[in-house]
Amino acid sequence: MRTILCLPGFTEEQQAAVRLAAPELSIVFGQKDGTEDYYYQEAEVIFGWDAKVKEVALQEGTKLRWVQSWSSGIDSLPLELLEKRGILLTDASGVHARSVSETAVAMMMGLSRGIAAAVRNQQTRVWESPKSLAELNGGTVAIVGAGEIGREVARLARAFDMRVIAVRRSGRSMSEADIVYDVARLDDALREADYVVNILPLTNETEHLFHAERFAVMKSSAYFINVGRGATVRTADLLEALNKGVIAGAGLDVFEQEPLPADHPLWAMPNVILTPHNAGGMTVRNTERLAKLFVSNLAIYLSGETANLRNLVDYKKKY
């Protein structure tokens, strides 16, 4: 019998919605304490990802035909093997837009308003105000990688009366932005911005896109926020830019090496906010959106119109 394996995370109500969408299929909901290999071997569809998907479900002769990732970023998945096996892959683009954009804006405010420094001072009971404070209103934010998350960052930035520059591969207009630049004008956007929000996926073109020369064109008063992928930034160059005052500070949710080593210099920098790659974490709302995406895609998959799957990954582009 055709089998769908959903890894842990869905509520009973969400499980019922999946069953309703595929009443003629066997649907297995994985357990937090582990799911038997047999179900990975039998699965035609897998929602989610864990080590067993690669170890068991991607073997020769696999029955697997479609994986719905619960993450927007899929660079950590074995894309070449998935493509070789002829398996469809859809990501969760758009699902985490609200939570990631809220993290980005929280970092912007935490740095500009001195909140990050105040939290550090609170631990040692030091009454001290930063030498300078900034405001979001009237400032310019450059959103690099203006997809679904970028649109949401832009919407929030507009609420603070900010000027919004969107940097998009296509250069196509975006109603939420005041101006759109294509990637050839990235440096122009960096020169104008008081806040740079990086939301880029990791591809061959974006790896280490942010390096010393890029930080050098930014304002010395500007803040760099990374909620995209860690390897889009050359960490050593960012460290140097922060140490030398080339830029004012950074808010980082993603890193080239994760977990970030305990002895890494970034931990101790007073002008840096770090979060443990949880901007897109599975909040209640994110789980609801992801369940709706999967149920919607499941109906499309079962209809045979797989080319119409939402967020279908192009293995050549790696997103």
**Active site amino acids:** 229, 258, 277
Residues facing 5 on adjacent strands? 28, 46
Contacts of 175 (CB under 8 A, 6+ apart): none
Residue matched to tokens 């990631």: 100
Residue 238 and residue 249: Cα distance in Å, rounded?
A: 10
Are 197 and 141 contacting, i.e. CB atoms less than 8 angstroms apart?
A: yes
By CB neighbour count within 10 A (0-12 exposed, 13-18 middle, 19+ buried), where does 216 fall?
middle
DSSP assignment of 148-210: HHHHHHHHHHHHTT-EEEEEESS----TT-SEEEEGGGHHHHHHH-SEEEE-PPP-TTTTT-B
What is the rounded CA–CA span in Å between residue 56 and residue 38? 9
**Token output for 192:** 């104008």
d(Cα 11, Cα 14) in Å, to the nearest integer?
5
Question: What's the CA gap between 215 and 218, in Å, rounded?
Answer: 5
**b (16+ CB within 10 A) / e for 292-319:** ebbbebbebbbeeeeeebebebeeeebb
Query: How many Å separate Cα 48 from the centre of its chain?
Result: 16
Please list the residues that pair with 168 across neighbouring strands: 182
Give kind and range of the element (H or E) at residue 139: none
